[in-house]
């Protein structure tokens, strides 16, 4: 019999910092929007991650539906609010891992996975028992419980973590955009746990290129009119972690084509987010990174804010032997 439930029906969910206590397997939805079913919106190769992640044919990316953070500017709004996706079993998820490997994936990239970790752990164990050998990546908003990171550390080889907001701004930016005034404290403790679990960056050779197999990549996305906050974030990260982690400074912020396409249509109230960042803003951030000594980091060239970074969440690769279109 295939297993679809996330948790035993009597268990309350405390996997993320929201700690909502929802009885998800009994049908109650958590703050993240997820109930008891494992829900995936897309499983396909992705070529646009950092170079040591998207090596060979690309990263085998599995996009999970729903999200605990729910940022108003979310570029994956269709899956963050659960509109896109299909309910699948643990066994099907394990099969997806093998199918992505057969397509040439360099790794398995689990996007926003923490609210499904009990099921993901089962799928990972099943795959490993059948000889699966690709690294697993946790691709996260950074808004995580350190206890959840430690509990499921055996499933994860590489952490690809956002770090969105600086401490002096959490009561404004983090609360205003993500309803998470406690974002910074949770993100720091989670990142500390990730570094402790994954260790310093380590590589092997895959398809003739360098592949990251252990370690932490910290991503920061520059938002319009938030250059000073971004500088504060880089300063904090560099002085706390130094070369123990890799850094990725991103310029790809993309406002939706129409404001109604944003999460719950709520971008209408945030005029500062209704434009892309300028080349000058991004150049100033890179100059600041150089100034503080962060000389080795990933950066984006040209017009990174383009459609190719945001895939279609049409069920590709989710259902067996077919391309699902909703």
Annotated binding-site residues for [4Fe-4S] cluster read 67, 71, 74
Q: Where are the beta strands (DSSP E) in the chain?
A: 38-46, 59-64, 86-88, 108-111, 136-140, 158-162, 202-206, 209-221, 246-250, 298-299
Residue 247's closest CA among 189, 196, 288, 279? 288
- Hey, what are 262's tokens? 């944003």
CB–CB of 127/160 below 8 Å? no
Integer CA distances (angstroms), 69 to 31, 53, 184, 252, 262, in order: 9, 24, 13, 19, 14
Please report, in angstroms and rounded to a whole number, the separation of the first and last CA atoms in the chain. 26
Q: How many CB atoms lie within 10 A of CB 113?
A: 22
In this structure, the chain runs to a length of: 326
- Hey, what are 76's tokens? 């994956």
CB–CB of 216/139 below 8 Å? no
Question: Rounded distance, CA 78 to CA 254, Å?
Answer: 15
SS3 state at 273: helix
- Hey, what are 39's tokens? 């829900």
Integer CA distances (angstroms), 304 to 48, 127, 282, in order: 10, 35, 11
- Hey, what are 157's tokens? 């080889």
Residue 156's closest CA among 201, 110, 203, 119? 110
User: Residues 6 or more apart from 91 whose CB is under 8 A from it?
Assistant: 2, 3, 123, 126
- φ, ψ of residue 81 in degrees (nearest 5): -100, 10
């Amino acid at each position: 019999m295939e297993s679809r439930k996330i948790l035993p029906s009597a268990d309350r969910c405390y996997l993320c910092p929201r700690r909502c206590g929802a009885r998800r397997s009994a049908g109650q939805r958590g703050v993240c929007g997820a109930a008891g079913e494992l829900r995936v919106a897309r499983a396909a190769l992705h070529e646009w991650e950092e170079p040591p992640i998207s090596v060979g044919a690309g990263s085998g990316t599995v996009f999970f539906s729903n999200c605990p953070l729910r940022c108003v500017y979310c570029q994956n709004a269709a899956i963050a609010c659960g509109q896109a996706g299909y309910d699948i079993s643990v066994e099907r998820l394990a099969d997806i891992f093998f199918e992505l490997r057969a397509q040439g994936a360099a790794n398995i990239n689990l996007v926003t996975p923490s609210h499904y970790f009990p099921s993901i752990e089962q799928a990972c164990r099943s795959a490993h028992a059948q000889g699966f050998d690709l690294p697993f990546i946790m691709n996260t908003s950074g808004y995580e419980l350190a206890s959840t990171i430690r509990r499921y550390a055996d499933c994860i080889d590489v952490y690809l973590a956002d770090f969105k907001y600086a401490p002096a701004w959490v009561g404004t930016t983090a609360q205003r955009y993500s309803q998470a005034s406690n974002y910074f404290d949770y993100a720091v403790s989670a990142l500390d746990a990730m570094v402790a679990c994954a260790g310093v960056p380590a590589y092997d050779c895959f398809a003739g290129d360098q592949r990251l197999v252990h370690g932490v990549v910290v991503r920061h996305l520059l938002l319009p009119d938030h250059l000073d906050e971004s500088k504060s974030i880089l300063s904090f990260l560099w002085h706390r972690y130094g070369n123990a982690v890799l850094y990725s400074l991103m310029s790809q912020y993309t406002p939706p084509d129409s404001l109604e396409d944003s999460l719950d249509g709520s971008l209408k109230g945030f005029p500062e987010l209704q434009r892309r960042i300028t080349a000058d803003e991004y150049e100033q951030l890179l100059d600041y990174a150089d100034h503080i000594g962060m000389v080795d980091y990933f950066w984006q060239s040209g017009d990174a804010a383009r459609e190719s970074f945001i895939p279609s969440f049409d069920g590709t690769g989710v259902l067996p032997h077919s391309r699902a279109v909703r």
